[in-house]
Amino acid sequence: MKITFEGNKKVKVRVKNFDVWTDQPIEQGGDASAPTPIDLFLASLGSCCGVFVLHFLKQHSLPENVYLTLEPIWNINDYVIEKINVTIHTPADFPPKYENALIEVAKRCLVARHVKIEHHISLEKQA
């Protein structure tokens, strides 16, 4: 990945053949033209859980009118997310026998598994 600065507080991340943009809210000096990095972190978690849920739905020929919501619970003192509530919403006619299985497959999300471990992040400068 390559990260470049694109004016004001915009940041572009080149991921494979895609550009992913972030910005900061207006009240933090940005233009609010893109999600913040923490928004993308949450989106990464949600979409990862969603991929596993969607795969399960397709595998069992279940209707795909299911959706997920994420609610971050912030520790305002340390300005970190303490907890993330992921909720899987199913329609009223969804077969009850699959409800627990949806939760279990969502837990297989690689992003969720990665946030549970401590990472050693190396930061260095190169001229």
Q: Supply the CATH number for residue 79's domain.
A: 3.30.300.20
Has residue 117 got a pLDDT over 90? no
The verdict on 28 and 43 lying in the same domain is no
Q: How far apart are CA 48 and CA 113, in angstroms?
A: 10
Q: What is the pLDDT of residue 91?
A: 96
Specify the number of domains making up the chain.
2
Looking at the chain, how many residues does it have? 127
Q: Is 104 helix (H, G, I), strand (E, B) or coil?
A: helix
Has residue 116 got a pLDDT over 90? no
The verdict on 41 and 82 lying in the same domain is yes
DSSP 13: E
The verdict on 27 and 14 lying in the same domain is yes
Has residue 127 got a pLDDT over 90? no
Q: What is the pLDDT of residue 115?
A: 86
The verdict on 25 and 50 lying in the same domain is no
Average pLDDT over the chain, rounded to an integer: 95
The verdict on 80 and 114 lying in the same domain is yes
Q: How far apart are CA 7 and CA 60, in angstroms?
A: 47
Q: Taking the complete model, does pTM exceed 0.95, yes or no? A: no
For the stretch 25-82, pLDDT in tens is 999 999 999 999 999 999 999 999 999 999 999 999 999 999 999 999 999 999 899 9
The verdict on 45 and 84 lying in the same domain is yes
Q: How many CA atoms lie within 13 A of 54 on its CB side?
A: 8
Q: How far is CA 77 from CA 39, 80, 81, in A?
A: 19, 8, 11
The verdict on 44 and 83 lying in the same domain is yes
* Element spanning 73, H or E: strand 67-75
The verdict on 42 and 2 lying in the same domain is no
Mean pLDDT, rounded, for 80-97? 96
Has residue 98 got a pLDDT over 90? yes
Indicate the range of 1-5, 75-79, 88-92 predicted with least confidence: 75-79
Q: Identify the domain containing residue 122 by its residue range.
A: 36-127
Q: What is the pLDDT of residue 54?
A: 98
